Structure 1
């Protein structure tokens, strides 16, 4: 049996994260934490045994008090049925098996436990990907892996159902950040710990001519008011471990109230 191919070079990812500037470059994690805390505050339920799956435990430890912090490795150190809340924090885009990560999180939940994930979505860094791709095609005649592939919201939403999570919801929050130059953006990505850690990346330094051309394309295509934009799409996923207490959809045709009555509107019959 052949081994499943790996998307991510875990050793490089670990090195990149170890070099991250945890003081000044983690603003996206800070925004994600604030949003997660806001969502949890709207849940009419207390959580007594939370766990957080993350590559940045020192950042995410403030999200939920007394949470167990678990590294986002291929096999998660989560005990089955031990938690009433599992948060998967900003790491699914580096996972070789995203659905496996969600299934493992689901198995760690008690009945009626909540799974909540936040990760980068498919629109993240689309400007940078377009500029690098065009520059490489122009100067080398091909493409090489440079930015981790990120799933679209509809694909991530379907993973919740595959993991047997009830009441699944997926929504997105695009964020646009501006920089003086593409060089400044790429420098900040390294400070975030989000440098290229793809297993299939070219291991030799990128030719300077390609990087210069990519920056020219970026500026020509996207610069506005003297700054270049960079999109970061944060996708939030929520689902519950099934429990008999949860609401179920009604049978089709079982409604006892007309929609017009519920809306306080007059019903207009269409001509036959």
Structure 2
């Protein structure tokens, strides 16, 4: 195993596709919230963009938010599998860790709730910056370190109690300072990071875990234990969760945090806006020689 690999991204893709087939977009409330936040944040940007890319956001929610914002003339979706793509937008099938886009070809790139599961996040951000035109903007959100802290604590407690030790079961998430450092390392100018934290309440830990399955967000760590877990184990997790993180009405709390990142590709005058473009831009103009182009 490559020491730099943290996630089994093939397994991640399989689970996301299975979740899409079995549950559709029934558990997309976090992405929906992030898309609403994106639209609000774009409203504060005093310029329009000729070509925008929605990178690996897995549903049409982000592209639709871009469209509602009125900030982008042409919106291109990039997804790892064509099954994530719906109609209405030109699209490219590609892994976000290997972007098949020409250097300095895109004005705006947005990516919501996916970059935290890349094995080479610095390299992915570097590619994003390379693809942006001078004075192009990257705006993204990835899951932050406070996410699912309650579930992590309960899993560790139950596993230590029942099995005498604990293995990693919740992904390690970045903190807001890490995100700022990643933007600087990738060469973005005017980097800004901030964090939004949300509390979601559930009837039980089982309801939370059902939502995570519906998102395709089970454990994909390469270092995860392969030992099968019993119903008794999960019942104990739910008991500990209820003991430690329930409200007076008996419902439990789950924390989710989004680290928002923005950065610009260098330009002699960062304040100089680009003129709004035409939606008739040719998608082929922005692609390398790849065969994975699909227009939706």
Same fold (TM over 0.5): yes
- In the alignment, which residue of structure 1 is the partner of 2:240? 217
Q: Which runs of 5+ in 2 are unaligned?
A: 68-73, 80-94, 272-296
- In the alignment, which residue of structure 2 is the partner of 1:107? 130
- Which one of 199, 208, 230 corresponds to residue 254 of structure 2? 230
Contact 2:199-2:254 within 8 A present in 1 as well: yes
1:71-127 Cα deviation digits (max 9, x unpaired) = 344212322111010112211121101111111110010111001111110000000
- In the alignment, which residue of structure 1 is the partner of 2:53? 51
- In the alignment, which residue of structure 2 is the partner of 1:23? 25
Say if 1:85 and 1:73 are closer, same or farther in 2 by CA, change over 3 A.
Answer: closer
1:200 equivalent in alignment to 2:202: no
* Counterpart-to-counterpart distance in 2, 1:7 and 1:226: 36
Contact 1:85-1:109 within 8 A present in 2 as well: yes
- Which one of 81, 84, 89 corresponds to residue 107 of structure 2? 84
Q: Greater relative contact order (Cα 8 A, min sep 6): structure 1 or 2?
A: 2
Contact 1:86-1:105 within 8 A present in 2 as well: yes
* Counterpart-to-counterpart distance in 1, 2:135 and 2:4: 35
Contact 1:170-1:235 within 8 A present in 2 as well: yes
* Counterpart-to-counterpart distance in 1, 2:109 and 2:63: 13
Q: Give 1:209 shift.
A: 2.6
Q: TM-score, normalised by structure 1?
A: 0.85
- Match of 1:174, SS? strand
- In the alignment, which residue of structure 1 is the partner of 2:269? 245
Q: Which runs of 5+ in 1 are unaligned?
A: 248-272
Say if 1:55 and 1:32 are closer, same or farther in 2 by CA, change over 3 A.
Answer: closer
* Counterpart-to-counterpart distance in 1, 2:158 and 2:177: 30
Q: TM-score, normalised by structure 2?
A: 0.79
Q: Give 1:145 shift.
A: 2.1
What are the equivalent positions in structure 2 for 1:131-142 lying under 5 Å apart?
A: 131-142=154-165
- Match of 1:113, SS? strand
Contact 2:125-2:183 within 8 A present in 1 as well: yes
- In the alignment, which residue of structure 1 is the partner of 2:77? 69
Contact 1:115-1:239 within 8 A present in 2 as well: yes
Where does structure 1 differ by over 6 angstroms across 4 or more consecutive aligned residues?
none
- Match of 2:155, SS? helix
Q: Give 1:229 shift.
A: 0.4
- Match of 1:49, SS? strand
* Counterpart-to-counterpart distance in 1, 2:28 and 2:59: 12
Contact 1:136-1:143 within 8 A present in 2 as well: yes
* Counterpart-to-counterpart distance in 2, 1:48 and 1:162: 27
Say if 1:133 and 1:159 are closer, same or farther in 2 by CA, change over 3 A.
Answer: same
Larger-gyration structure (1/2): 1
Q: Give 1:204 shift.
A: 4.0
- Match of 1:106, SS? helix
